[in-house]
């Protein structure tokens, strides 16, 4: 009854479906909004139902339980959230997690076995890179990486190298793991080229996963470009209010089911309160992201013309023709997270950051409020200097995530802070 997904054969848009999809008020005393289900376990209608549900949980039957069993496996608020998340990416299924990193770690652990090789784009979110290099290596899993902007030929060469490495280790190339745009340079990965290279070199058994935190779900739909699994830190744009930590993955059921099995075993599912908060956030995600994107465009136009600004890493102003080509094929908007390069170094950046009156000095992104930080001395402090240079993280780089404040107020704030430099 509540689940109208089409009217006269016309599919409803995600922004419409966020208000009711996956929830039937009749099942909850008519409560318009879903209650928060604070329960660890669920009563079975009959013993036979209990058996059937456990067949789904244990994998005797694929696809998970068709009824609720125990809150480590799933629960109503999380199921509503997962139904709604899958809509944005056009995915068959989604899984929620207690953080973006839990989602990423459980995903990688599901697909990697001893001797296997993970191929990944670089840079990745530092903790993702660390999980692959530091933790998975303990189990004999190695990696090969390639720079975000790589061409088809470069990707072919990397896959060939990874296959040789895997054969030498008695394993396989188990996953291609991407992040696009990369942080902090906003370099984009050519997902279509990765897909073509994967199909040619490895066949369809090696999934392509992509961290879509920076542009998703509004401005980039990587499943449309041939990725198999999208990954999110819901902490960022989807949560959108800097008041929760959560993560998700989405894709075809055949890719989700093994991950669900490991999540059932390990835990790491999002808690019911956070799932409820995320459903509230999803009702406004399109509004918030549109506004933040419009604000970022106005702010960047101002910044680009300012004499104390050396450059901008903003997807709305790409100069490189190859990057522009990827952008035009993959992106539906330029986002609201970008890098600001000042003339000068750390001292100038610190003066700018310490002078901001509206924008808050904090790491993270995608919230309603504008945030600014200095990667070289904060998020990337422990990265060796050569790697920082290779990633384009100089002392004069400031990372900015634009929120939904008034654009002219933000411009006034950046103007006075630049004046103080
Ligand atoms: C924040 C972030 C993560 C990690 O997410 P958490 O929710 O903090 O665990 C992963 N990838 C990207 C791109 C991020 O920005």
* Tens-digit pLDDT profile for residues 89-136: 999 999 999 999 999 999 999 999 999 999 999 989 989 999 999 999
How far, in Å, CA of 35 to CA of 314, rounded?
A: 41
Among 79, 72, 67, smallest CA distance to 43 is for: 67
Domain boundary among 233, 267, 282: 282
How far, in Å, CA of 299 to CA of 369, rounded?
A: 14
Inform me whether the pLDDT recorded for 195 exceeds 60. Answer: yes
Task: State the pLDDT confidence band at 56, using cuts at 50, 70 and 90.
Answer: confident
Q: Ligand 1 centroid to 41 CA: how many Å?
A: 30
> Are residues 294 and 187 part of one domain?
no
Q: What is the mean pLDDT of the chain?
A: 95
**Rg of the chain taking only CA atoms, in angstroms:** 22
Q: Which two tokens stand for residue 41?
A: 């376990």
> Are residues 247 and 118 part of one domain?
yes
How many CB atoms within 10 Å of residue 326? 23
Q: Ligand 1 centroid to 131 CA: how many Å?
A: 13
Average pLDDT over residues 301-307: 98
Rounded to two decimals, what is the model's pTM? 0.96
Q: Ligand 1 centroid to 77 CA: how many Å?
A: 22
> Are residues 335 and 238 part of one domain?
no
Domain boundary among 231, 250, 282: 282
Domain boundary among 282, 315, 345: 282
Q: How many angstroms from the chain centroid is the CA of residue 343?
A: 31
> Are residues 246 and 221 part of one domain?
yes
Q: Whose Cα sits closest to atom 7 in ligand 1?
A: 100
Range of the domain at 384: 285-419
Q: Whose Cα sits closest to atom 6 in ligand 1?
A: 100
Look at residue 39 and tell me if it is in a domain: no
> Are residues 293 and 277 part of one domain?
no
Query: Half-sphere exposure (CA, 13 Å, Cβ side) for 47?
Result: 0
């Amino acid at each position: 009854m509540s689940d109208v997904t089409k009217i006269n054969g016309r599919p409803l848009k995600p922004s419409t479906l966020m208000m009711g999809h996956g929830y039937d008020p009749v099942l909850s005393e008519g409560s318009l909004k879903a209650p928060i289900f604070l329960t660890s376990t669920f009563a079975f209608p009959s013993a036979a139902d209990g058996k059937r549900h456990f067949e789904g949980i244990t994998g005797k039957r694929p696809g998970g339980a068709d009824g609720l069993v125990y809150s480590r496996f799933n629960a109503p608020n999380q199921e509503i959230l997962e139904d709604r998340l899958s809509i944005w990416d056009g995915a068959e299924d989604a899984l929620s997690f207690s953080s973006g990193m839990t989602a990423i770690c459980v995903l990688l652990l599901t697909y990697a076995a001893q001797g296997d090789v993970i191929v990944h784009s670089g840079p990745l979110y530092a903790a993702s890179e660390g999980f692959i290099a530091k933790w998975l290596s303990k189990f004999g899993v190695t990696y090969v990486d390639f720079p975000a902007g790589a061409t088809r030929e470069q990707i072919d060469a990397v896959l060939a190298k990874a296959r040789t490495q895997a054969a030498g280790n008695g394993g396989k190339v188990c996953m291609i793991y991407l992040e696009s745009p990369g942080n902090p340079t906003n370099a984009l990965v050519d997902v279509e080229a990765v897909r073509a290279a994967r199909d040619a070199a490895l066949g369809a058994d090696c999934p392509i996963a992509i961290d879509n935190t920076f542009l998703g779900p509004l401005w980039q739909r990587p499943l449309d470009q041939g990725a198999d699994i999208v990954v999110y830190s819901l902490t960022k744009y989807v949560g959108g209010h800097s008041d929760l930590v959560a993560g998700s993955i989405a894709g075809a059921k055949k890719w989700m089911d093994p991950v669900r099995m490991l999540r059932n075993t390990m835990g790491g599912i999002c808690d019911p309160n956070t799932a409820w908060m995320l459903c509230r956030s999803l009702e406004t995600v399109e509004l918030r992201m549109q506004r933040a994107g419009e604000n970022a465009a106005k702010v960047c136009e101002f910044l680009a013309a300012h004499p104390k600004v050396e450059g901008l890493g903003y997807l709305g102003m790409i100069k490189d023709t190859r990057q522009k080509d990827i952008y035009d094929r993959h992106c539906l908007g330029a986002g609201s997270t970008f890098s600001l390069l000042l003339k000068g170094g750390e001292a100038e950046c610190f003066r700018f950051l310490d002078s901001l009156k509206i924008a808050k000095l904090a790491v993270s992104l995608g919230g309603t409020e504008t945030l600014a930080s200095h990667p070289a001395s904060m998020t990337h402090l422990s990265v060796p200097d050569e790697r920082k240079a290779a990633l384009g993280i100089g002392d004069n780089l400031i990372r900015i995530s634009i929120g939904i404040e008034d654009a002219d107020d933000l411009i006034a704030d950046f103007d006075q802070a630049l004046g103080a430099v």
